[in-house]
Amino acid sequence: MTNTAIQFIEVSKSYEKNPIVRNLNLQIPKGKLVTLIGPSGCGKTTTLKMINRLIEPTTGRITVNGEDINRVNAVELRRQIGYVIQQIGLFPHMTIEENITLVPKLKKEDSTTFRKRVEELLDLVGMDPARFRSRYPRELSGGQQQRIGVARALAADPSIILMDEPFSALDPISREQLQDELVKLQNTLHKTIVFVTHDMDEALKIADEIVLMKEGVIVQRDVPDQILRHPKNEFVREFVGEKRFIHSSLLSKAKDALTKAITVSPMRGLAECIQLMRRHQVNGLIVTDQQGRYLGVIGANEIYAHYNNEGLKAKDVMSKDVEPIHSETPMQDVLPLLNGRERGFIPVTDQTGKLVGVVTRASVLNVLADTLMEEAEGA
């Protein structure tokens, strides 16, 4: 049984004499999230749309789960493949429930399962079914609408999902939240996802594999860590970006001085860890599991000591000796711990062991300064 979900065999697409995709040979493994990325006009969206026959190739052959897509009715093919686009495409006159169940209804699936499926999917994308199932798209924010777009793509339980720059129109905060949600979903569902983006930060964050394209051809295809370690040529280096390569009585508890923790999956490579640290200008990362529970800490010392071993992941080199503190820990107990730690930060967890942030020397000083200023003004 082949592990390939989608295969391009000598596929080209031209409009008149203008080649968009040139002799593409590409295998996309089952259960992986693969990003197609490159500058505008590189052929990434055309490549995506050829998978569900929204665009027909000029030459070559494409197979989905081993079957030539030209032998499958185009409409039936599209109903078997989830599709999420930037414009979302929700029907404004339909409720959220009706939007989500559209494809299963078209496939004439058992209607008795629809209601349960809607509840499962809304829960999956972090939206309360009781609050949202009867609403209309106009009553939702852009980020909420895009979550519904993802739920709709999952409704018929397709093995393959195509995503064409789905988050690019959102504000930065919503975009980052949805990227996090997508990674969590993929860790749970293990779908084959082909994701088009022009944002290398996004690709590095979400992808199992990155396919970097230029002028209709693949320039480099690899896992994020290897692209960061071994860019094939100057174009890749420029596209990736060289910079990626380095209180008083009121302040009573650890939660009062919390700051955002930069987290990393235990399965990410060491070059990715360095890129993440440089991007956020931090000297350490917190390793968490799929549920956000604290696992350990990884910093520059751990990375550089093991960097030459390309097979190692964050989980292999992280330190488990850094004990987290509870969010309700009194500050009088936090300060001595912080002063005695070389890293300059302490992970903070809730009662379930889930990471809620970190306390740093800077965050404590900031809150102390604000509190002292408030006290001086009130004196």
For domain 254-370, give the fold. Answer: CBS-domain (3.10.580)
pLDDT of residue 145: 87
User: Any residues with CB less than 8 A from the CB of 276 and at least 6 apart, and which?
Assistant: 262, 264, 268, 285
pLDDT of residue 149: 85
Three-class DSSP category at 319: strand
pLDDT of residue 103: 76
pLDDT of residue 362: 79
pLDDT of residue 373: 56
CB atoms within 10 A of CB 119: 15
314 and 265 in contact (C-beta within 8 Å)? yes
**CATH number at 4-242:** 3.40.50.300
Nearest to 162 by CA among 238, 237, 82, 105: 82
pTM above 0.75, yes or no: no
CA distance 362 to 356: 17
Structure tokens, 117: 């499926």
User: Any residues with CB less than 8 A from the CB of 326 and at least 6 apart, and which?
Assistant: 254, 348, 349, 350, 351
Nearest to 334 by CA among 351, 311, 358: 358
What ranges do the domains of the chain cover?
Answer: 4-242, 254-370
Strand partners, 359: 258, 346
Which parts of the chain have pLDDT scores under 70? Answer: 1, 88, 109-112, 242-252, 340, 367-379
CB atoms within 10 A of CB 229: 17
pLDDT of residue 58: 95
| pLDDT tens digit sequence for 168-201 | 878 888 888 888 888 888 988 899 999 999 999 8
pLDDT of residue 245: 43
Distance from the first to the final alpha carbon of the chain: 76
